[in-house]
Amino acid sequence: MTKLRSGDVLRSDQFTKEEIDLIIETARQYEATLDAGEVLDTMRGLVLVTLFYEPSTRTRLSFEAAMLRLGGGVITVAEAKSSSAAKGESLHDTIKTVEGYADVIVLRHPQIGAAKEAADATNLPVLNAGDGAGQHPTQSLLDLYTILKEHENVDGLTLALTGDIKNASTVHSLALLLSNYDVEFVFAAPDALRMPTEIVDRVRAAGIKVTESTDLATAIRKADVLYMTRIQRERFEDPDEYESLKDAFILRREMLFDAKSNLTLMHPLPRVNEIVTDVDDYPGAAYFRQSANGVPIRMALLALVTDRA
């Protein structure tokens, strides 16, 4: 029995507040050990497999770095589409196979629900590293960790989630995770890319004030945390629709004149064109600090699901 109720990490709304606190606290401890240059052997003898059916830089590498920092080993299929999946192997059979090679599985897959399907096929811990337009819970935990480092407290903050919030799994998970706190949301997107009704309804049902807007300027004015996302080209069936929306929300430095003085700018990355690079030296631009926070959070998750924390 691990310290978490489930050995899998599939959705951000699976966690109790106590579990979220435990993950954050464990990550803090790991970050301190990294800062002190300590070498850990917490996961010695264990093997992580990273199976990525969609592109990734940060999620895969930070999971792998996390496992190596904990003294464990890593095997990977970075382009899982070029694995036996290309020959028609089902996800189920791939998972049954890697079960024989590894102790913990990190999966990114284009299909909503794929991580659950993988978890149902094995007793090994499965961590969802993004299931298409579904959820990306480990990203949301590192986002929360980032907000706590930048602002000390989440309660009382207004968070604007913007861009392609229909298709970006990151903001679906983040909205649900932060519903555990006393926050306000602005969901800002072009009309065609609004937050799914199911998420809006669930956030409101948790007693959280939500303002929906089609306007980036409104989001900038109200936000303590402005969370940008890229327009997710690969989720569009119609390339013309993508073309018509791809430049809808672009953040330029001069647009930040109206922002609160302590604004934190976040983005799960990769960015395409939605944050102009002259924003990068804005003091609140936290997106590269945010990506670095993936390592301690993923160390915490790997150690907790394998009961080594």
Q: CB-side exposure of 83: number of CA atoms within 13 Å?
A: 19
DSSP helix/strand/coil, 281: coil
Spatial neighbors of 163 by CB under 8 A, at least 6 apart, are 171, 189, 193, 228, 229, 230, 231, 249, 274
Specify the residue, 54 or 184, whose C-beta has the smaller distance to ligand NCD: 54
Interface contacts to ligand NCD, rule CB under 6 A: 56, 58-59, 130, 136, 139, 168, 170, 229-230, 232, 268-269
Q: Is the peptide bond before 270 cis (omega within 30 degrees of 0)?
A: yes
109 versus 222: smaller Cβ distance to ligand NCD: 109
Residue with Cβ nearer ligand NCD (103 or 134): 134
Cβ 136 to ligand NCD shortest distance, Å: 6
Nearer to ligand NCD by C-beta: 8 or 164? Answer: 164
Residue 35 CB, nearest approach to ligand NCD (Å):
23
Distance CA 96, CA 107 (A): 13
Q: Which of 11, 69, 108, 172 is catalytic?
A: 108
Give yes or no: 194 in active site. no
Q: Which residue is nearest to ligand NCD (CB)?
A: 268
User: In the chain, how long is the greatest CA-to-CA distance?
Assistant: 56
- Minimal distance, residue 175 CB to ligand NCD, in Å: 15
CA distance 232 to 226: 18
Catalytic residue among 3, 28, 58, 233: 58
Give the distance from CA 25 to its chain's centroid: 18
- Residue 100 tokens read as 């024989």
Asked if 5 is an active-site residue, the reply is: no
Catalytic residue among 136, 230, 298, 308: 136
Active site residue 108: yes
Clarify whether 76 is annotated catalytic: no
The residues annotated with a catalytic role in the active site are 58-59, 87, 108, 136
